[in-house]
Amino acid sequence: MEQSFCKLNFITNGDGFTDITDDLNSFIQKSNFHSGILNLTSLHTSCSLTINENADPNVLKDLEKFMKSIVPLNCYTSLSKDREEIYYEHFQEGEDDMPAHIKTALTNTNLSLSFKDGEIILGTWQAIYLWEHRFAPKERSISVHIIGEKNSSNYNNRK
């Protein structure tokens, strides 16, 4: 069992989803690992790592819209009977910053994925997304850590 550590950087296009599945599979193959755990940590508190549908783009649109509607900008109303209006106290970094922290808390910063035969084990309709919650494009770093088995040395020698 061996380890490999790396950071992968992605430029997001403002709020929305970037499919990073292929980049992660490429990293596994370049690192010459066969099978193991691919442990991912987003190094930010205003974007998420999530697994969701890779087929109908309306699924991603609806996800984005839903998230914006339960975590609105500036002010939101409580679900308690009195429907209190609540303002964020942290607003100095932009009106989209505190909502982004909340969206991150409601989703995931960390995914621990299994891979075999050099490929992440996913269902047919699944992709791994970097979900940007800030409105402006950002450079995002993902810590990528593998613990697993490398391809046999015979295989390496032949290359």
Restricting to residues 64-103, which ones interact with a copy of itself according to CB under 8 A? 65-73, 75-81, 83-86, 88-90, 92, 98, 101-102
Residue 88: CB minimum distance to a copy of itself, A: 5
Q: Which is nearer to a copy of itself, 25 or 39 (CB)?
A: 39
| DSSP code for 89 | S
Question: CB 30: neighbour CB atoms within 10 A?
Answer: 11
Task: Identify the residue among 8, 23, 32, 53 touching a copy of itself (CB under 8 A).
Answer: 53
Q: Do 104 and 46 touch, CB atoms closer than 8 A?
A: yes
Give the amino acid at 45.
T
Q: Which is nearer to a copy of itself, 86 or 158 (CB)?
A: 86
How many residues bind a copy of itself (CB under 8 A)? The answer is 73
Q: Tokens for 27?
A: 């990293």
Residue 13: CB minimum distance to a copy of itself, A: 19
The answer to the question of residue 44 lying near a copy of itself (CB under 8 A) is: yes
Q: Tokens for 158?
A: 């032949």
Query: Of 105, 106, 100, nearest to 88 (Cα)?
Result: 100
Sole residue written with tokens 């309306």? 58
Q: Do 40 and 144 touch, CB atoms closer than 8 A?
A: yes
> Which of 8-16, 24-32, 108-116, 151-159 is the region at the interface with a copy of itself (rule: CB under 8 A)?
108-116
Residue 135: CB minimum distance to a copy of itself, A: 16
